[in-house]
């Protein structure tokens, strides 16, 4: 019997007991379907994160904070240091928002700026504005993006912020356009808005700024981005009436280094800062922790899919063992006519692999169809605020690997029945009732 005949016979034998084969295929289908969906989610999220990180153009930036010192277990709170500068933690500080954390002083900023490999450093000044207003269209609350210095905006219209400009510049998200009455993204560019805020003494201040660009919402937040000149203007207004003996403190600083630095050089820069008592991280470092959580969740889901496939493997064993028992006389006849044990083994192994292929292929095809529909619906509904995110992306290589793995599991599951069939004694098999 030629190899092609073995394949044809194995496929035909698979459908001798249609109900039994169908139930086994369904079990494999469930596992393959789940694996394909979870793999697509992992691919979709990873690709979106990679796209966002590569698009922000901030590969030469470090976020630097004071290193956190943790007291040993059972030692109680650390001793109060009146000379230690503190500030209130924000959502980007790595600490619980609203808690008191160690702050960077001007001396720290100078030390960071003098560190080897650092080309420039700017303190991250926290601005607490009251409102933003365009013309007489009403006042609206606003949040200022804490990632403005770290990111390069995904623009819907206009230009990026200029750190060297003497003009008060800001970027507004597309979600601000309608409420503020700014019109379309292109129409909003060049218009002046008013930002109101309150100083230490409770007096109200207003600062005028020009919209230089409109940005799409991204993974990195949807707040208003402001340039260095506007930051200084708002900080100056906000600090009016501040006590002269108040210790200035900054939650973090933005340090720039040579964009051409190698990964080893970046690691050396971060180590030098760590040795001086600071914690430094690139945007990729910060996003990496988020991606690790996503990969962990995907891994757990994949584990459940593998359990389903293992259960399906026992179904294959049962199906083929029953097939061997029912076809004992037939196996004896084939061996009596000169068919070798190896060919018999190949026949039943091919049958197992075909069942695995059938279940995995159907599972993958259905998963692609269902997943594509769900992904499209989510992109226009729940995930519409994250342009470019398709929660499920089906990579051909991943689909091929999944089908290959399922076929391998099916082959291993079919090994026991195939060996049993190959070892049948022709005379005893022909006498089998």
User: Whats the size of the chain, residue-wise?
Assistant: 433
Q: Let me know whether 333 and 354 are in one domain.
A: yes
Using CA atoms, how far residue 164 sits from 31, 64, 148, 194, in Å, is 57, 22, 14, 21
Q: Let me know whether 19 and 70 are in one domain.
A: no
Q: Let me know whether 107 and 242 are in one domain.
A: yes
In terms of pLDDT, which residue wins out, 143 or 214? 214
Using CA atoms, how far residue 265 sits from 109, 133, 160, 238, 278, in Å, is 21, 45, 28, 39, 17
Residue 369: pLDDT band (50, 70, 90) is very high
Tell me which of 234, 261, 282 is where a domain ends. Answer: 282
Distance, in Å, from the CA atom of 237 to the CA atom of 174, rounded to the nearest integer, reads 27
pLDDT tens, residue by residue, 335-359: 788 788 888 888 888 888 999 999 9
In terms of pLDDT, which residue wins out, 304 or 165? 165
Q: Let me know whether 77 and 40 are in one domain.
A: no
Q: Let me know whether 73 and 211 are in one domain.
A: yes
Domain that holds residue 363: 3-53+289-431
Tell me which of 231, 247, 282 is where a domain ends. Answer: 282
pLDDT tens, residue by residue, 272-282: 999 888 888 88
pLDDT tens, residue by residue, 40-69: 988 888 787 776 665 555 567 888 888 765
Q: Let me know whether 26 and 167 are in one domain.
A: no
State the pLDDT at residue 182: 94
Residue 91: pLDDT band (50, 70, 90) is very low
Q: What average pLDDT does the segment 381-386 reach?
A: 77
Structurally, how many domains does the chain consist of? 2
Tell me which of 231, 254, 282 is where a domain ends. Answer: 282
% of residues, the chain, pLDDT over 90: 21
Average per-residue pLDDT for the chain? 81
pLDDT tens, residue by residue, 186-233: 999 999 999 999 988 889 999 999 999 998 776 555 678 888 899 889
Q: Let me know whether 203 and 335 are in one domain.
A: no
In terms of pLDDT, which residue wins out, 3 or 282? 282
State the pLDDT at residue 206: 94
Q: Let me know whether 131 and 24 are in one domain.
A: no
Please tell me whether residue 85 adopts helix, strand or coil conformation. coil
Radius of gyration of the chain (CA): 33
Residue 81: pLDDT band (50, 70, 90) is low
Please tell me whether residue 144 adopts helix, strand or coil conformation. strand
Q: Let me know whether 233 and 170 are in one domain.
A: yes
Q: Let me know whether 276 and 303 are in one domain.
A: no
Is the model's pLDDT at 99 over the cut of 90? no
Q: Let me know whether 79 and 156 are in one domain.
A: yes
State the pLDDT at residue 348: 83
Q: Let me know whether 364 and 313 are in one domain.
A: yes
| Range from 139-143, 333-337, 429-433 carrying the lowest mean pLDDT | 429-433
Q: What average pLDDT does the segment 401-409 reach?
A: 90
């Amino acid at each position: 019997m030629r190899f092609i005949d073995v394949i044809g016979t194995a496929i035909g034998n698979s459908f001798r007991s249609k109900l039994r084969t169908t139930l086994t295929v369904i079990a494999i289908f469930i596992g393959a379907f789940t694996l394909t969906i979870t793999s697509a989610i992992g691919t979709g999220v990873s690709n979106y994160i990679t796209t966002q990180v590569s698009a922000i153009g901030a590969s030469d930036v470090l976020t630097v904070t004071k290193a956190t010192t943790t007291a040993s277990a059972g030692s109680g709170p650390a001793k109060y240091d009146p000379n230690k500068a503190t500030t209130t933690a924000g959502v980007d500080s790595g600490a619980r928002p609203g808690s008191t954390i160690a702050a960077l002083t001007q001396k720290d900023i100078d030390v960071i700026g003098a560190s080897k490999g650092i080309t420039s450093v700017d303190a991250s000044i926290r601005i607490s504005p009251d409102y933003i207003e365009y013309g007489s269209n009403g006042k609206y609350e606003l949040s200022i993006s804490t990632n403005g210095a770290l990111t390069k905006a995904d623009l819907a219209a206009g230009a990026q912020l200029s750190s060297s400009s003497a003009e008060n510049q800001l970027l507004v998200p597309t979600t601000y356009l309608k409420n503020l009455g700014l019109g379309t993204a292109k129409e909003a560019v060049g218009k002046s808005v008013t930002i109101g805020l309150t100083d230490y003494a409770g007096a109200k201040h207003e600062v005028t700024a020009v919209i230089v660009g409109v940005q799409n919402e991204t993974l990195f937040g949807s707040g208003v981005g402001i340039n260095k000149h506007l930051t200084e203007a708002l900080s100056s207004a906000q600090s009016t009436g501040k006590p002269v003996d108040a210790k200035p403190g900054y939650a973090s600083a933005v340090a720039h280094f040579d964009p051409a630095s190698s990964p080893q050089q970046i690691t050396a820069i971060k180590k030098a800062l760590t040795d001086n008592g600071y914690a430094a991280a690139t945007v990729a470092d910060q996003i990496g922790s988020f991606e690790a959580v996503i990969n962990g969740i995907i891994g757990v889901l994949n584990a459940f899919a593998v359990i389903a496939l293992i259960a399906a493997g026992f179904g294959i064993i049962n199906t083929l063992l029953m097939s061997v028992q029912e076809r004992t006389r037939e196996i004896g006849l084939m061996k009596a006519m000169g068919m070798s044990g190896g060919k018999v083994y190949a026949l039943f192994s091919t049958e197992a692999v075909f069942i695995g292929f059938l279940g995995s292929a159907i599972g993958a095809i259905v998963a692609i169809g269902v997943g594509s529909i769900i992904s499209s619906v989510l992109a226009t509904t729940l995930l519409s605020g994250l342009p470019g995110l398709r929660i499920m992306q089906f990579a051909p290589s991943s689909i091929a690997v999944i089908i290959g793995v399922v076929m391998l599991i099916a082959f291993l599951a079919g090994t026991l029945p195939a060996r049993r069939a190959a070892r049948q004694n022709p005379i005893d098999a022909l006498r089998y009732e």
